[in-house]
Amino acid sequence: MNFKKPSRKAWNLLRKIDPNTKRKHIAVKIKADHFANRIIELSRAKVDKNATKILKKN
Protein backbone atom coordinates (compact mmCIF):
# COMPACT_ATOMS: atom_id res chain seq x y z
CA MET A 1 0.00 0.00 0.00
CA ASN A 2 1.20 3.46 -0.85
CA PHE A 3 0.73 5.91 2.02
CA LYS A 4 2.58 8.74 0.28
CA LYS A 5 -0.45 9.70 -1.78
CA PRO A 6 -3.98 10.00 -0.43
CA SER A 7 -5.13 6.46 -1.18
CA ARG A 8 -8.51 5.46 0.21
CA LYS A 9 -7.65 1.79 0.28
CA ALA A 10 -4.46 2.34 2.26
CA TRP A 11 -6.00 4.64 4.86
CA ASN A 12 -9.12 2.49 5.26
CA LEU A 13 -6.91 -0.54 5.87
CA LEU A 14 -4.95 1.41 8.48
CA ARG A 15 -8.19 2.37 10.23
CA LYS A 16 -9.31 -1.28 10.30
CA ILE A 17 -6.00 -2.44 11.75
CA ASP A 18 -5.84 0.34 14.36
CA PRO A 19 -6.84 -1.10 17.76
CA ASN A 20 -7.94 2.26 19.15
CA THR A 21 -11.56 2.56 18.03
CA LYS A 22 -12.44 5.26 20.54
CA ARG A 23 -10.58 8.15 18.97
CA LYS A 24 -12.06 11.53 19.73
CA HIS A 25 -13.18 13.59 16.79
CA ILE A 26 -12.50 17.21 17.56
CA ALA A 27 -14.93 19.68 16.02
CA VAL A 28 -13.13 22.80 14.89
CA LYS A 29 -14.99 25.99 15.65
CA ILE A 30 -14.13 28.75 13.21
CA LYS A 31 -15.94 32.05 13.41
CA ALA A 32 -16.94 33.74 10.17
CA ASP A 33 -15.27 37.01 11.20
CA HIS A 34 -11.94 35.30 11.85
CA PHE A 35 -12.17 33.50 8.51
CA ALA A 36 -12.97 36.74 6.64
CA ASN A 37 -10.14 38.61 8.37
CA ARG A 38 -7.68 35.90 7.40
CA ILE A 39 -8.75 36.07 3.75
CA ILE A 40 -8.31 39.84 3.80
CA GLU A 41 -4.84 39.47 5.35
CA LEU A 42 -3.77 37.01 2.67
CA SER A 43 -5.25 38.85 -0.30
CA ARG A 44 -3.22 41.23 -2.41
CA ALA A 45 -6.12 43.62 -3.00
CA LYS A 46 -6.08 46.97 -1.26
CA VAL A 47 -8.51 47.25 1.63
CA ASP A 48 -11.24 49.88 1.51
CA LYS A 49 -10.93 51.39 5.00
CA ASN A 50 -14.37 53.01 4.93
CA ALA A 51 -16.02 49.68 4.19
CA THR A 52 -14.13 47.91 6.98
CA LYS A 53 -15.13 50.59 9.48
CA ILE A 54 -18.78 50.10 8.54
CA LEU A 55 -18.47 46.32 8.86
CA LYS A 56 -16.77 46.53 12.25
CA LYS A 57 -19.52 48.81 13.61
CA ASN A 58 -22.21 46.30 12.66
Question: In what helix (H) or strand (E) does residue 15 lie, and over which residues does it extend?
Answer: helix 8-17
The per-residue pLDDT string of the chain (58 residues; one tens digit each, 9 = 90 and over) reads 566 777 778 778 877 887 776 767 777 788 888 888 888 888 877 767 777 777 777 6
Sequence letter at residue 29: K
| pLDDT for 52 | 74
d(CA 57, CA 11): 47
